[in-house]
Structure formats: C-alpha cells, structure tokens
Structure 1
Amino acid sequence: MTGDRWRALGFGTAVHVLRFGVIMGALAFAPLLGISGWYLGLAANVACVLLAVVLVTVRGQWRVSGLFSLWRGRTAALFLVPFVIETLLWAVPTGLIELPPGFGLWALTLLLVGVNEELISRVVVLERMRRSFGPAGAVALTGALFGLQHLSAFATTTSRTAEDVLLNVLVSACYGIGLAAFQYRFRWVLPLVLLHAAVDFTSVLSANPLPDPVVAITCVAFLATAAVILRPLVIGRLPSAAAPAEPEAETSGRGA
C-alpha cells in the first residue's frame, strides 16, 4: 500500500482505539460520581457520543454525514429494507423481554450506541478511507475496523466466552460492511443510527435469539447488499462519491 493508504488505515485504527480509551476512562471515572452497575454502560456511551460529536465537528463532517437529512430518495430507502428485516427477525414472533432497568433506559442507551458508533465508524473513519481507497476497499476496511472494535468486550465484560466475542466480531464486521456501503454511496447516516439502535434493542431484549444458521444467512445478506449498493460505483455507472459537496443520492436519488 502507498503511504497515504497506510496513514488512512492508521487513522481509522487510532480513532477506534481512542473510542476504547474513552470507554475505559468513563468506566473508571463514573464510580467516582456515584454511578454503578448497569448505569456504567450508559455513562460510557454518553462519553462516546461526546467524542463522536467532537470528531465530526473538528473534521467538518456534519453536512456530508446526512444526519439531518430526512430523505435521500427511493433507491436509498429500498436498500434499507434488508437491515429492517434483520431488526424485526429478532423480535418476531416471540417478542421482547423487558430486562432491568426497563425498555426506556435500554432504548436510550442503545440509541446513544447507534449515534456514537455510526458517527465514528460510518462518518469519521469512512470519510477518511474514501480519500485513499476505492469504494470496495474503503467499505471493507471500515467494516473490518468496526468489527474488530468489538474485541473490547474482552476488557469490558466477564460473562461472555471467547467464542461468543469472536463471533460477534465477525457478525459486526459483516453488518458494518453493509452499513458502510450504504453510507459510502448515499451519505445518509440518520437511518443507520436508528436501525443500529433498533437492532441492538431487539437483539439484546429478544425473547428467543436467532439461531446461528439464521445469523449466518443475515451476514451473507449484508455482504450481498453491500455488493449491490457499490456495484454502480465500482463499474463506473455512477460518479464517484468521493467529492464531499454533494452525495449521489442528493442529486439523483431515484435509482441507479
């Protein structure tokens, strides 16, 4: 790889390491404020949201993030369908279990997870990767780094097995590739934040978690969706999304 590509990869790695450092710092500092138990996770995610806001602001990426855009066109909306289906699979037909401290606080915490992880991975890291790599490379590396960040579970939890953590890394990487492909083409992170929060909510509180074969199928679906989303960019049917001024979906937004 060229020097610029190594710098992009180093930047993406450093951002995720920084996020991990913020989590560990919050977990260490929060008890000094009387925060304990389940609420430590809430405090850590508040800290990560603040980090994400600072990074996006410093790098001037609010406009290209699409966080405040309510619509990017029918094509973009259709590509969200596989992610919506996966979210619903965790809740249908057996429903959800209300774990302490209740649905409301779980929803708040997981929304904060969606905000900070999408802004950090699909905006800050992906925008840097797209400057140095083609669509497929930028998306694959962004997704891989997103998956690897879930190795942090080894340091932040004691109840999960190594096999469970590593499987989550793989599933998260596939999911991250799908979301990164969508963001690369459409620059519309708002629905990704909401879907990310929703799937975390339904998977964590699912009364009957999906069996491994179904999870494997969803991973294949995410990768296939990413390939279909990026294909027009890779073969040159659409202009590159590298120019930050106008996302593809803002100008055409009605199908590839």
Structure 2
Amino acid sequence: MTDLYAVTDLRLSLPDMTRKPAFGSAPMIDILHGLSFTIGKGEVLGIVGGSGSGKSTLGRVLVRLLEPTGGQVLFDGQDISHLNEDAIRPLRRRFQMIFQDPMSSLNPRRKVGGIIAGPLKLHGFDRISERVDAALDQVGLSRRFRDRYPHELSGGQRQRVGIARAIAIEPEFILADEIVSGLDVSSQAQVLALLSDLVRDLGLTLAFISHDLSVIRRLCTRVMVLHQGLIVEHRDTDALFNAPKADYTRELLDAIPLPDPDQVWV
C-alpha cells in the first residue's frame, strides 16, 4: 500500500492560556510528543483516545490547521509541515475536514446549496449547480434540501451536509473529527455506513477521530491509540480488539458499554 501520509517525530506545543500572566506571553505546553506513523492510500485509520489525549490536535496538524513545532508531515511525498498559507492553499482541495458540531461549522445564514457551493467556487470548479446536486445524491439527501437552512435539518442531516461539502471538491483525504458523537445510535450507524460506502466508491483515504472504540471498530481498518500526546498502540483493528497490548487500550476497551439487547444496528 502506498502511503498518503508519512509523519515523523511530530511535535507540537501550544500556549497554555489557563496560565497566561497579566503581562507577557503564556507558557508553552507540549501537546504531541514525537509521533511517527503512516496512513496508506485508501486506508481508514481510527484515531482514538480520551479527553486531552491530543487526537483532535493531531487531526488539525494533518490538514494544516495547526503548524507543528517540530518533525515532518509528508502528504503524498510533499513536506507540508511549515508551508505558508499561499503555498498550502492549492493543497487544501486535496484534504478536507468534517467537524464534530455541524451547527457551528455550517453557516446558519446560508442555505444548504450555498454551503456546498462555497468550496467549489473557492477552488475554481465549473458546473457548480450540477456538482452540488451530485454531492447531495452521494450523501443520500434529495435535491429539495438545497433550499433549506441548517436549523431546519436534523443532526444526522446536518452532518450529511458537512460530508457533502467535503466530498464535493473531490479530495483524496478526509479527516472526520468526532462526527457521530452527538447523534443517536440509529443516525450514528447510518453515517458510519455512508462513510464506508464513500471510501469504497470514491477511493478516499479517511482518518476518523473518536473517543469511542465501538464506533472505531465498525469503520476502521487500523487503529492508533493516543494517550497524553503519545502513540501507545497502532495496529490492525481486529488484532487490537482481540489482543490489545497496551494497558491504556485495555482500559478503553473495558469502558465500552454493553450493547442494549433491544437496540438493532443497521
């Protein structure tokens, strides 16, 4: 498998705003501690860990919403670690992010059609209207949703709009950050099935961030477990679930709630 991402000795420090003095700069706090890993083309990588593990911060480095303090991030062989905004802009079409809370990431004043069309216009696509309709079709929303506002949609529908906006510009890589954590069980299952279909049909590479290993197991081919900014385990999904090596991984597995016998997953 060819690597889409190759990450070496990745480090990140950020200002600790909880300790900022009245005058001067806030002290720096180390968030990521020398992470090295790869993501293969077509892979579905689960990034899991508890609150404060660094998983969402790592995701933002991968799509260069944050610049690493040290180390190297190669995207399809190109070092994107410290590219300035002018240099990174042409690459942003190739990697996209779907956010946890669609109500905060979708412009409440814009209709769905305009939300999906925005990145298409930004990146210079033609036939915008056709591409918006195609994206809606791909995520299982009818074209009548073009004229609805985010507040008129259910949580699952809003998340589908976020997915449609991401795939409309035909990226190679998508980072999904806790995108089913606020959904009911049925909507979670539907979104996970949709993502699985899109990975297969569009040839996407996907990194899926979650604190919930039961969700990771349903979708991902490999799992990377983070704890306090360190990788404690990085293995194929079945191997990790059947024989976890790290104590922290076992703690996460032990925390998975028992399934409700009356709940049917689809």
Q: Which has the higher helix share?
A: 1
Q: Which has the higher contact order (CA 8 A, sep 6+)?
A: 1
Whether TM-score is above 0.5 comes out as no
- TM value normalised by structure 1: 0.25
Q: Which has the higher strand share?
A: 2
- TM value normalised by structure 2: 0.24
